[in-house]
């Protein structure tokens, strides 16, 4: 929602005065909802941190993800304040420029936070269920075997039909 809000702010710079009002109201609505959701995400990430931290070998990667999430949340806090000031000042062009710049910075911070979160899952295995040995092997047993060649079954190495 916040990235879409940033894009709408850019679009509003190129619209006629009649269309700007609708786009800016939509942008403000996305900003309010996205801002509240961003802080809920920061809170839920803090709640999950202890559990995820125990399964990681690279704890600094988790801390970096947390830092960028907080940066994004605070940037959009400032975006929210500026959006409200612009609304009170009847669309000040200077505030619009500052708002677009900060919204783009916030969108970039959100994108980077998402990248860091994905690397926690896909590179470090954060919050990924690992079947126990009692499962009869499962994914853990298959991960230790070499990858099957083209046209071969992963489990038996025999040709598939």
Q: Residue range 135-160: average pLDDT?
A: 48
The model carries a pTM of 0.70
| Residue 36 half-sphere exposure toward CB, CA atoms < 13 A | 5
CA 64 to chain centre: 13
Q: Residue 159: which pLDDT band, with cuts at 50, 70 and 90?
A: low
Q: Of 6-15, 89-98, 112-121, 129-138, which one has max mean pLDDT? A: 112-121
Residue 151, pLDDT > 60, answer no
29-70 pLDDT, tens digit each = 888 899 899 899 989 888 888 888 877 787 888 899 999 999
pLDDT reported for residue 145: 42
Return the structure tokens found at 136.
Answer: 């009869």
């Amino acid at each position: 929602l916040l990235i879409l809000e940033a894009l709408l702010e850019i679009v509003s710079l190129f619209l006629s005065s009649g269309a700007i009002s609708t786009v800016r109201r939509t942008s403000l609505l996305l900003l309010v909802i996205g801002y509240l959701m961003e802080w809920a995400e920061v809170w839920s990430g803090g709640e999950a941190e202890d559990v995820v931290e125990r399964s990681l070998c690279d704890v600094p990667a988790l801390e970096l993800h947390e830092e960028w999430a907080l940066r994004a949340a605070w940037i959009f806090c400032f975006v929210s304040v500026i959006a409200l000031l612009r609304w009170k000042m009847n669309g000040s062009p200077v505030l619009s420029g500052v708002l677009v710049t900060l919204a783009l910075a916030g969108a970039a911070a959100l994108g980077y936070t998402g990248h860091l979160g994905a690397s926690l899952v896909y590179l470090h295995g954060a919050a990924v269920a690992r079947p126990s040995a009692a499962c009869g092997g499962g994914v853990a047993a298959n991960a230790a075997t070499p990858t099957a060649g083209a046209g071969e079954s992963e489990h038996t190495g025999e040709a598939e039909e």
